[in-house]
């Protein structure tokens, strides 16, 4: 089965998101966990951004020896030299050079012609090759770049010595069909050389980052750039945990595999949350608090009989300790009986019926019944029964 590399940019693109900044020790902690998770490449930062970021990349490169470390650089000499300095101690360094290629970015942001862009791309890649064994080139805003020019950009990058071509949907504008088609056209143009890996880097402005990444895989892409919890600029990047589980659950459909240890996903998510202080949404796929929680009675009944009825992957498979049957106004008697058993109660049918009546009434106002609330209800029902049946003392 074909291997898809997971290029993790939590420490670079993820950190650029407001409120997600990390210091050097935090980056090292997160990088070590990413290595444990089994990612193929860790992008540790953008060295030219600040001396602190340069030193953080350098520290990660020294501490994490079993995963290639990448550093970002614009297609500028100073950026490349800064990245080279940061990567000096890396066992397997990768330089990630980028330049915007859409006419909008070239004209408004860079004030460059297409010809100047091609020259800068070629010169920068050749310079980067003097310092590292692997060079990745990213055509920023590829999704809005004229396709004929994008093909020319990719050919120039390959001729200059790039090993990886990344065609990012920088602003989250693409939809899956057109994003996949872009890669197919580039492959057709450059001739699919064996030593070149195509890479996808998607943002979630339209909520399509994961879908676009998967469409790219179908189009022959063998590297996906993503972040833990989907953090990143604006609405974020493709969420690593969602990409990983989608490829695992639907492996027969995609025909590819990653090297990730899925049971480290939840731990990775929780560590990032601890470092940044930013909680994931309860309904977040795979790692959200509700990802393996069930409240509806029909669902709970199915889960009790066979978890496959409403779970396409077990919580344990992704490192979540266990599923939960949440008691609320939609819950059923089967889940209530199971919850009571967990608290040490063995209710009769009549006791269960009374507990159920009280639980649903409570849930109408409280929204959710917690363990202590259920214990109170159960104790009152059982105690009331005991008192009613106790012999009368003369």
Between the ranges 151-160, 287-296, 360-369, where is the mean pLDDT highest?
A: 151-160
The tens digit of pLDDT for each residue in 293-327 reads 887 888 888 988 999 999 999 999 999 988 887 78
- Cα separation, 277 vs 169, in Å, equals 28
Residue 286 and residue 220: Cα distance in Å, rounded? 25
User: 3-class DSSP state for residue 145?
Assistant: coil
Look at strands 134-140 and 69-74 and give their pairing.
Answer: unpaired
Answer yes or no: do 214 and 297 share one domain.
no
Residue 131: pLDDT over 80: yes
**Boundary of a domain, candidates 276, 301, 335:** 276
Place of tokens 């000096």: 88
Sign of CA dihedral 180, 178, 287, 65: positive
For residue 122, tell me if it sits in a domain.
yes
Report which of residues 269 and 298 the model is more confident about. Answer: 269
Q: What is the mean pLDDT of the chain?
A: 93
Same domain, 38 and 92: yes
Q: Is 130 part of any domain?
A: yes
User: Among candidates 40, 390, 368, 38, which has minimal Cα distance to 199?
Assistant: 40
341 and 230 in a common domain: no
Distance CA 129, CA 127 (A): 5
Q: Say yes or no to pLDDT of 346 above 60.
A: yes
Residue 154 and residue 190: Cα distance in Å, rounded?
7
- pLDDT digit string (tens) for 378-389? 988 875 554 444
- The answer to whether residues 65 and 137 belong to one domain is yes
Same-domain pairing of 272 and 377: no
Q: Are residues 251 and 333 in the same domain?
A: no
Same-domain pairing of 57 and 84: yes
Residue 288 lies in a domain: no
- Both tokens assigned to 40: 């193929």
Q: 334 lies in a domain?
A: yes
pLDDT of residue 247: 98
Confidence of residue 119 (pLDDT cuts 50, 70, 90): very high
pLDDT in tens, 17-50: 888 999 999 999 999 999 999 999 999 999 999 9
Summarize the confidence of residues 257-274 as an average pLDDT. 97
Residue 272 and residue 301 in one domain: no
The pLDDT of residue 393 is 46
171-198 mean pLDDT: 97
Total domains, the chain = 2
Distance (Å, whole) CA 97 – CA 72: 6
Domain end (from 241, 276, 311): 276
Are residues 172 and 297 located together in one domain of the fold?
no
pLDDT at 228: 98
CATH at residue 99: 3.20.20.70
Whole-angstrom Cα distance, residue 325 to residue 331?
9
Structural domain including 357 reads 293-389
Q: Tell me: pLDDT of 262 over 90.
A: yes
Domain assignment of residue 285, yes or no: no
Q: Measure the CA–CA gap between 23 and 298, rounded to whole angstroms.
A: 47
Say whether both 242 and 315 belong to one domain.
Answer: no
3-state helix, strand, coil in the chain (%, to 5): 50, 15, 35
Q: Is residue 287 part of a domain?
A: no
Tokens of 147: 């396709």
Q: Is residue 367 part of a domain?
A: yes
Residue 394 counted as domain residue: no
Query: How many CA atoms lie less than 13 Å away from 220 in the CB half-sphere?
Result: 17
- Residues near 384 by Cβ (< 8 Å), separated by ≥ 6? none
Same domain, 257 and 357: no
What is the C-alpha separation between 197 and 182, in angstroms, rounded? 15
Q: Which residue, 216, 250, 276, sits at the end of a domain?
A: 276
Do 245 and 377 fall within a single domain? no
Nearest-CA neighbor of 284 among 369, 223, 224, 207?
Answer: 207
């Amino acid at each position: 089965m074909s291997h898809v590399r997971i290029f993790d940019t939590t420490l670079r693109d993820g950190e650029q998101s407001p409120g997600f900044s990390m210091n050097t020790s935090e980056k090292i902690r997160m990088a070590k966990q990413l290595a444990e998770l089994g990612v193929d490449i860790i992008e540790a930062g953008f060295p030219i951004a600040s001396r602190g970021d340069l030193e953080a990349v350098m520290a990660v490169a020294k501490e994490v020896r079993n995963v290639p470390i990448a550093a970002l650089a614009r297609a500028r000499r100073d950026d490349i030299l800064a990245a080279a300095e940061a990567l000096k101690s890396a066992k397997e360094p990768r330089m990630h050079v980028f330049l915007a290629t859409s006419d909008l970015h070239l004209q408004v942001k860079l004030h460059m012609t297409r010809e100047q862009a091609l020259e800068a791309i070629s010169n920068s890649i050749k310079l980067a090759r003097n310092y590292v064994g692997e060079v990745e080139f990213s055509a920023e805003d590829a999704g809005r770049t004229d396709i004929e020019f994008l093909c020319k950009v990719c050919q120039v990058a390959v001729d200059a010595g790039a090993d990886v071509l990344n065609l990012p949907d920088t602003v989250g504008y693409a939809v899956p069909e057109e994003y996949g088609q872009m890669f197919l056209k580039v492959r057709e143009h450059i001739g699919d050389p064996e030593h070149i890996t195509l890479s996808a880097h998607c943002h979630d402005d339209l909520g399509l980052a994961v879908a676009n990444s998967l469409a790219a895989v179908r189009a022959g892409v063998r590297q996906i750039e993503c972040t833990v919890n989907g953090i990143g600029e604006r609405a974020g990047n493709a969420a690593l945990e969602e990409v990983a589980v989608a490829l695992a659950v639907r492996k027969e459909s995609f025909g590819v595999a990653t090297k990730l240890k899925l049971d480290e996903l939840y731990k990775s998510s929780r560590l990032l949350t601890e470092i940044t202080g930013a909680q994931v949404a309860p309904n977040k796929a795979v790692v959200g608090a509700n990802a393996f929680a069930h409240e509806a009675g029909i669902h709970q009944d199915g889960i009790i009989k066979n978890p496959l009825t409403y779970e396409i992957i077990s919580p344990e498979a992704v490192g979540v300790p266990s599923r939960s049957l949440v008691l609320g106004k939609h819950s059923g008697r089967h889940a209530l009986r199971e919850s009571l058993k967990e608290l040490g109660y063995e209710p009769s049918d009549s006791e269960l019926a009374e507990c159920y009546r009280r639980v649903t009434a409570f849930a109408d106002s409280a929204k959710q019944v917690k363990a202590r609330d259920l214990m109170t209800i159960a104790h009152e029902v059982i105690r009331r029964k005991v008192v009613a049946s106790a012999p009368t003392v003369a």
